[in-house]
Amino acid sequence: MGRRIERSIALMRFVRTFGEPGAPQGALNALLQLADSQITYRSRYVMMEARGPVLDLVLLDPDNPRSFAFQVARMAAHLKVLPGRDPDEPPPFSERIVARMQADLTAAHADSFDLADFEALESDLMLLSDEISAHYFIQETAVDSWPGQL
């Protein structure tokens, strides 16, 4: 799951840099290369790169294994089978973060994305990473102090 989070964070940063409306010529092609989606784009769209179709492919396409939506769907599946989850309890915060991202992606249209949307998604990913780390990797143990220690 960590690799999916890292890939998604990197993708958000690439999209912020190369997918903005005022990006220089060739930026969308660079984004397709970085997202490893150039061949898929060419097979679907027999045209020069356009912002809407490029963002649709790299962000919203649930069938593209390199897309953000695909990564988020897999994160949701991974979270549901992590140990320590009680099915009778409300979903943990990490699952709610991913569910919110999935809902945002389902309702989104590629042409409507702006810088604030990309930053919000990246922020959600960072929050998800912190939440998983805190729950599964950070061990909180009491530290015994010795006399004379601060």
Q: What is the mean pLDDT of residues 89-118?
A: 92
C-alpha radius of gyration, the chain, whole number = 19
In the 8-state DSSP scheme, what is residue 62?
Answer: T
pLDDT in tens, 70-103: 999 999 999 988 887 777 888 889 999 999 999 9
Domain ranges, ordered by start, for the chain: 2-136
Measured from the Cβ of residue 140, the count of other Cβ atoms closer than 10 Å reads: 6
- pTM for this prediction: 0.85
User: What was the pLDDT predicted at 1?
Assistant: 86
Q: Element (H or E) spanning 55, and its range?
A: helix 51-55
Contact 18, 31 (CB under 8 A): yes
pLDDT in tens, 28-57: 999 999 999 999 999 999 888 999 999 999
